[in-house]
């Protein structure tokens, strides 16, 4: 069984089903990654820190209320959507990516874990007709491009403790990328949640709708 201590360190109140699903996660990705490369093989040793815990930084920023509807665009192999769906079983997650092979992995992983709150689809965010409370993304596109993609996809009326909007996991120096948006966004250092060196340059960018 996989060691999920990096997750338990920061999320000590996981129930047994959540722990079991997080433990299964790595084996599932190892299995599928051999056929369809969604995670760099050299990164697999740091799977829980670099992929799962990084995704769960969003859960430190906001605790989604039950019945929230969340879209993860450019989900790749299912990050941040799959780890968050394990943590928030009463929240609906819609994971989308333009590459069909990646969505196959997401679907197989969600089915194996019996995550009934996950729906995955091949496509582009701009083509989605539904609206959501929040749109998530991890290192998919520059922020201005992201804003264009999700224009009209976020409901204005929300019921979470912060307004509906975009929550993006980013890295590095964002000065140029966020120029002109400074007054309309909030940037949080992931290192304020997690102490591992990997997170020193990681950030959450939140833009209310």
Residue whose pair of structure tokens reads 């975009």 in the numeric block: 166
Task: Please give the Cα distance from 181 to 140 (Å, whole number).
Answer: 18
DSSP β-bridge partners for residue 203: 170, 189
- 33: confidence class by pLDDT, cuts 50, 70, 90: confident
pLDDT, tens digit, 9 for 90 and up, residues 65-95: 999 999 999 999 999 999 999 999 999 999 9
Q: Above 90 in pLDDT, residue 197?
A: yes
pLDDT digits (tens, 9 = 90+) for 122-160: 999 999 999 999 999 998 899 999 999 999 999 999 999
Question: Residue 155 in 3-state DSSP?
Answer: coil
| Average pLDDT value for residue range 35-61 | 91
| pLDDT attached to residue 1 | 61
Q: Are 207 and 165 in contact (CB under 8 A)?
A: yes
61, 185 contact by CB (below 8 A) = no
Length of the chain: 209
Angle, alpha carbons 181-182-187 (nearest 5°): 110
What CA–CA distance (Å, rounded) separates 24 from 42? 19
pLDDT exceeds cutoff 90 at 102: yes
| Nearest alpha carbon to residue 164 among 179, 172, 153, 173 | 153
pLDDT at position 45 is 86
């Amino acid at each position: 069984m996989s060691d999920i201590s990096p997750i338990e360190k920061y999320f000590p109140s996981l129930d047994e089903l959540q722990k079991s699903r997080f433990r299964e996660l790595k084996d599932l990705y190892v299995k599928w990654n051999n056929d369809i490369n969604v995670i760099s093989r050299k990164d697999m040793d740091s799977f829980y820190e670099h992929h799962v815990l990084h995704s769960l930084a969003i859960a430190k920023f906001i605790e989604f209320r039950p019945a929230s509807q969340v879209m993860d665009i450019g989900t790749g192999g299912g990050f941040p959507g799959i780890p968050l769906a394990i943590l928030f079983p009463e929240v609906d997650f819609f994971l989308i990516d333009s590459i069909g092979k990646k969505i196959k992995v997401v679907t197989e992983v969600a089915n194996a874990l019996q995550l009934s709150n996950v729906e995955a689809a091949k496509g582009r965010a701009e083509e989605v007709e539904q609206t959501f409370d929040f749109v998530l993304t991890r290192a998919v596109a520059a922020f201005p491009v992201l804003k264009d993609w999700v224009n009209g996809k976020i409901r204005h009326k929300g019921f979470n403790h912060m307004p509906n909007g975009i929550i993006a996991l980013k890295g590095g120096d964002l000065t140029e990328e966020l120029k002109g948006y400074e007054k309309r966004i909030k940037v949080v250092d992931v290192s304020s949640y997690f102490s591992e060196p990997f997170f020193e340059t990681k950030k959450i960018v939140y833009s209310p709708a």
